[in-house]
């Protein structure tokens, strides 16, 4: 047996230990390679899909790279710590520090090489799938051709070889510096009983509370700068760590004095002694979980909110604005025919007249605001149409109160956010080049009646009484009078494809259903996010896995001793179930709290109505499902690995 053989055997026979590490590395190599393959795909580079999608791919790739550095170091260090005894024995037997360093280096090269190879292979396999799904999601006219450009190979390899080489070198020199005595004796040294500080426990809770407070109550102010965001993150991470190291240990020590019976004593004391060792891993898992859940919930939630808002932002399938100076190529009758021909199913067509005006703002906000002036009856016609077509929407539209001559109502069309400025406020209105007319604005409505964005005049609407409107219209210059036409259609997707580029978007709003238009924007991000989430999920699992391996030798001795003193398998099972639940679900619980705070914060920033929580709950449930799978696997394989009833094994 030669030294090289020894190294090879060591890696191959420690495959259980290396498996998690290599799997995590492979997935990160795969993810980066995948993103690079898409970003540098010649078809994508030459504008096959929106350039924003390409930027998202590149950014996601770099996030993966950055994150990989962090967890590759963390996992490899954890793995080597587990093998302290082995390295100690080797040194006692006369392995020189140089040889030991070289051994670790060789092992890393072997493991990292396998990870790189597997990752590239997996990346290649998934690239095709990725491109297919992406093309489908973004409703691209044809398939994106498969490519694995040299540039993405090069970038992926260079990035990971750099990470791996640096990591292997660092680990090797770290092991080289440690003496055999620490390595062997280290595991024998007794753990000190935990001494939690009540002050630090409270500080932990305080930090968490402060982080949550800044996120929830002072959301906009805090998030105005990047520093605010970083402060919140730092507060929450520090708070989480203190809650684990101090608060939880304090609670366990308190329970230890109370609980006197059965296996509970064992559970509580074991947890109390180990919590300090667990704390770092638990903090990492909580943070990662919170990041994954928040990111998924906010992305998917935004999509769902936008979908919910679709009918609100675009009440009409098609809407046109025309006047003498801005005629359309198609007359309203022709538009109806085209829609019918496309099978859109026109259910209603409305026509109204509007004036282009400018309203003097109340003195607080100086200047004038351009407004679309309509008569009360026209406004009511449009509202009635919306009410009769959107069952759930209709109820929220307020009735327009009867307007006396010289009085008006101001409409800030959703999603414009304007504080209510008018409470029976006297002001003036000018239509076109005509004189200013005095009038009183009674109040404000925050609903939308005309389609978003394309309103030729302004998204702010002023409702005046019918007689007043006729007077204003009579005085108005011709090019300030607009005809507005709205069509309701039963099939919006078909309605959106009825006209090519015949109609200018400045005057015409043809609504594309959110499924198509928004998905195009978000699908790339969501899909890339899914891969990153998967990677982080794997990293979480790995962190717990190393934590468990760390205790295995100690558990073996303890459980064997307990078996001898007459503990049953069921009781040992209970000990493990409780301990594993703490490891798996406690960080999840804290992560849920973090996520809730983050989503509330997000809700404030988003400023668009719609429900975020169902999606958030769904994301949490899916994540919880993954945690349960991890838990079940770990809980049922662990006792087997301990080999409690094989008395031969002593270590």
Partner 1 sequence: MAVLTANGLVKIYGSEPGALVHALNGIDLAIELGEFVAIMGPSGSGKTTLLNILAGLDKPSGGQLVIDGEPVQALSGDALALFRRRKLGFVFQDFNLLDTLTLAENVALPLALDRRPAREVRKLVEGVMARFGLEESQGRYPYEVSGGQQQRTAVARAIVHQPALVLADEPTGNLDSASARTLLETFATLHAEGSTTILMVTHDPIAASYSDRIVFIQDGKVYSRLEREGTREAFFQEILHTLSILEVSGVDIRPTRP
Query: Which residues contribute to the site for partner 1 (CB under 8 A)?
Result: 1-3, 5-6, 9-10, 13-14, 85-86, 88-99, 179-181, 184, 643, 646, 648-651
Nearer to partner 1 (CB atom), residue 2 or residue 260: 2
Neighbours of 574 (CB within 10 A): 17
Q: Give CA 387 to chain center in angstroms.
A: 35
Residue 645 C-beta: closest distance to partner 1, Å? 13
User: Are 231 and 214 spatial neighbours (Cβ–Cβ below 8 Å)?
Assistant: yes
Nearer to partner 1 (CB atom), residue 363 or residue 648: 648
Q: Give CA 179 to chain center in angstroms.
A: 45
| Token output for 24 | 């995590």
Helices (H), 93-149: 97-137
| Token output for 246 | 């101090």
Residue 238 C-beta: closest distance to partner 1, Å? 33
Residue 219 C-beta: closest distance to partner 1, Å? 53
Nearer to partner 1 (CB atom), residue 2 or residue 363: 2
Residue 172 C-beta: closest distance to partner 1, Å? 15
Please tell me the chain's helix, strand, coil percentages from 3-state DSSP, rounded to the nearest 5: 65, 10, 25
d(CA 468, CA 357): 14
Nearer to partner 1 (CB atom), residue 88 or residue 194: 88
Residue 65 C-beta: closest distance to partner 1, Å? 32
Q: What b/e readout covers 429-459, taking b as 16+ CB neighbours within 10 angstroms?
A: bbbbebeebebebbbbbbbbbbbbebbbbbb
509 Ramachandran zone, left/alpha/beta (phi>0; psi -120 to 50): beta
Residue with tokens 């799978």: 629
Nearer to partner 1 (CB atom), residue 93 or residue 391: 93
Q: How far is CA 244 from CA 196, 286, 329, 511, 579, in A?
A: 10, 11, 69, 52, 14
Which residues have a Cβ under 8 Å from the Cβ of 355 and sit 6 or more positions away? 372, 373, 374, 431, 432, 469, 472, 473, 476, 480, 481, 482
Sign of CA dihedral 325, 328, 331, 332: negative
Neighbours of 97 (CB within 10 A): 16
Residue 299 C-beta: closest distance to partner 1, Å? 44
Residue 99 C-beta: closest distance to partner 1, Å? 7
Nearer to partner 1 (CB atom), residue 331 or residue 561: 561
Nearer to partner 1 (CB atom), residue 399 or residue 650: 650
Q: What b/e readout covers 194-214, taking b as 16+ CB neighbours within 10 angstroms?
A: bebeeebbebbeebbeebbeb
> Angle formed by the axes of helices 15-39 and 514-564, to 10°?
170
Nearer to partner 1 (CB atom), residue 9 or residue 423: 9
Nearer to partner 1 (CB atom), residue 94 or residue 141: 94
Nearer to partner 1 (CB atom), residue 14 or residue 322: 14
Residue 5 C-beta: closest distance to partner 1, Å? 8
């Amino acid at each position: 047996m030669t030294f090289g053989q020894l190294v090879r055997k060591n890696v191959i026979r420690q495959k259980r230990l290396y498996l998690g590490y290599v799997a995590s590395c492979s997935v990160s190599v795969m993810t980066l390679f995948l993103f690079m393959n898409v970003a540098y795909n010649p078809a994508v580079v030459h504008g096959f899909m929106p350039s924003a999608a390409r930027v998202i791919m590149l950014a996601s790739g770099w996030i993966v790279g950055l994150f990989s550095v962090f967890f590759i170091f963390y996992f490899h260090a954890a793995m080597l710590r587990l093998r302290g005894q082995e390295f100690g024995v080797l040194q006692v037997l006369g392995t020189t520090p140089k040889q030991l360093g070289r051994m670790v280096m060789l092992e890393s090269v072997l493991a990292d090489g396998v990870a790189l190879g597997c990752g590239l292979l997996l990346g290649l396999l998934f690239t095709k799938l990725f491109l297919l799904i992406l093309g489908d999601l973004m409703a691209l006219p044809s398939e994106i051709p498969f490519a694995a450009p040299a540039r993405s190979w090069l970038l992926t390899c260079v990035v990971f070889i750099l990470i791996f080489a640096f990591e292997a070198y660092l680990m090797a020199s770290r092991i080289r510096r440690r003496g055999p005595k620490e390595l062997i004796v280290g595991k024998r040294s007794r753990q000190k009983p935990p001494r939690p500080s009540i002050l630090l426990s409270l500080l932990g809770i305080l930090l968490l509370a402060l982080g949550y407070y800044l996120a929830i109550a002072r959301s906009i102010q805090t998030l105005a700068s990047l520093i605010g965001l970083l402060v919140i993150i730092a507060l929450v991470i520090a708070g989480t760590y203190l809650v684990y190291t101090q608060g939880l240990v304090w609670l366990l020590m308190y329970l230890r004095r109370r609980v006197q019976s059965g296996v509970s004593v064992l559970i509580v004391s074991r947890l109390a002694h180990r919590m300090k060792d667990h704390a770092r891993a638990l903090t990492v898992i909580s943070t990662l979980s919170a990041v994954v859940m928040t990111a998924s919930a906010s992305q998917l939630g935004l999509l769902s909110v936008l979908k919910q808002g679709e009918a609100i932002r675009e009440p009409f399938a098609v809407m046109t604005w025309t006047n003498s100076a801005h005629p359309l190529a198609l007359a309203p009758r022709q538009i109806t025919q085209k829609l019918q021909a496309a099978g859109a199913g026109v259910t209603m067509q409305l026509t109204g007249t509007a004036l282009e005006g400018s309203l003097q703002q109340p003195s607080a906000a100086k200047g004038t605001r351009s407004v679309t002036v309509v008569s009360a009856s026209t406004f009511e016609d449009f509202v009635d149409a919306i009410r009769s077509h959107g069952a759930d929407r209709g109820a929220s539209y307020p009735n327009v109160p009867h307007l006396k001559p010289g009085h008006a109502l101001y409409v800030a069309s959703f999603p414009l956010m304007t504080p209510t400025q008018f409470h029976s406020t006297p002001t003036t209105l000018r239509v076109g080049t005509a004189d200013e007319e005095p009038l009183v604005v009674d109040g404000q409505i925050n609903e939308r009646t005309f389609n978003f964005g394309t309103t030729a005049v302004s998204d702010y609407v002023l409702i005046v009484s019918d007689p007043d409107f006729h007077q204003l219209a009579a005085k108005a210059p011709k090019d300030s009078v607009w005809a507005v036409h709205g069509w309701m259609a039963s099939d919006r997707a078909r309605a959106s494809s009825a006209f090519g580029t015949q109609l200018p978007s400045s005057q015409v709003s043809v609504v594309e259903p959110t499924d198509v238009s928004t998905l195009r924007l978000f699908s790339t991000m969501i899909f890339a996010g899914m891969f990153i989430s998967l990677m982080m999920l794997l990293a979480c699992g790995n962190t717990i896995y190393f934590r468990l391996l760390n205790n295995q030798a100690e558990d073996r001795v303890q459980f064997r001793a307990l078996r001898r003193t007459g503990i049953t398998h069921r009781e040992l099972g209970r000990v493990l179930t409780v301990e594993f639940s703490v490891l798996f679900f406690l960080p999840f619980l804290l992560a849920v709290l973090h996520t809730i705070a983050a989503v509330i914060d997000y809700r404030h920033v988003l400023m668009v109505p719609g429900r975020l929580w169902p999606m958030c709950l769904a994301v949490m449930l899916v994540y919880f499902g993954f945690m349960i799978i991890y838990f079940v696997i770990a809980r049922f394989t662990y006792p087997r690995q301990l080999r409690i009833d094989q008395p031969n094994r002593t270590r």
